[in-house]
Amino acid sequence: MGRSLLRYGLLGSLAWAAPAPAAYVPMLARALRIPLRLPHRDGVALTFDDGPHPQGTPAVLEALEQAGATATFFLVGEQVDRFPALAAEIAAAGHEIAIHGYRHRLLLRRSPIALVADFDRAQDAIAAATGRSPSLYRPPYGVFSTPALAIVRHRGWTPCLWSKWGWDWSASATAESVAMRATTGLCAGDVVLLHDADHYSSPGSWRSTAAALPRVLDAVAALDVGCVSVSQST
């Protein structure tokens, strides 16, 4: 299964240790009540996965500040433990804090016990660094397993995927390609997936994201709507 396919947001449905075929299928996401878009067309949600990152996160925060834009950051617990001050800076800037797990690992072959431990550790690390206890969750690679989805919902967390993305994790990504992919057909209600870190992707890929961000923000402004956090529109 190719990495690009994983990054496009596989929805894995499985009994533990018996994975079924997985594919990115919006109809399946709707059937499982996993949001791809905002419930209201009152803005566009820019979301950033895999951080914090010592260079990428500050660059993204600066671009957002210049545009007066709010975003949602899906933080990885192990990176929060490495860079707690950066996680705190994201929160202090008024952005929404969300959970991307503690380890950035595919959920499909992780036991329910391991999932619970990972979620607990991620929540504790993020809360300690940011002073917030987030309840919005996106799995690594956008891949849910049946046990993971059940645990997320049992905790009262909201699962979240996306409707558009920039392919900014790729080694071939450029500022132009990221902006084009993220904004072609963009409309109010979209959730846009980007990355402010290269911990789990091509080295330096955050640079393309940061360079593309002003054009993405301009495209949102052209819709005559603002950038909203994911939860702000729920």
Mean pLDDT of the region 7-19: 38
The Cα–Cα gap between 54 and 48 comes to 14
Q: Which helix (H) or strand (E) holds 226?
A: strand 226-227
Q: Is the pLDDT of residue 84 over 50?
A: yes
pTM of the model: 0.90
Quote the DSSP letter at residue 48: E
Q: Is the pLDDT of residue 12 over 70?
A: no
Residue of 53, 100, 195, 196 with catalytic role = 195
Length of the chain, in residues? 234
The Cα–Cα gap between 177 and 17 comes to 38
Residue 104 a catalytic site member: no
Give the pLDDT confidence of 113-137 residue by residue, as tens digits: 999 999 999 999 999 999 999 999 9
Q: Which residue type sits at 159?
A: P
Percentage of the chain lying above the pLDDT 90 cut: 79
Q: Is the pLDDT of residue 234 over 70?
A: no
Residue 120 a catalytic site member: no
What residue spans define the domains of the chain? 3-233
Of 102, 106, 101, which Cα lies nearest the Cα of 22? Answer: 106
Residue-level pLDDT at 22 = 32
CATH class, range 3-233:
alpha beta
**SS3 for 105?**
coil
Q: Read off the pLDDT band of 26 (50, 70, 90).
A: low
Residue-level pLDDT at 8 = 37
Residue of 49, 50, 168, 196 with catalytic role = 49
Residue 97 C-beta-side C-alpha neighbours within 13 Å: 27
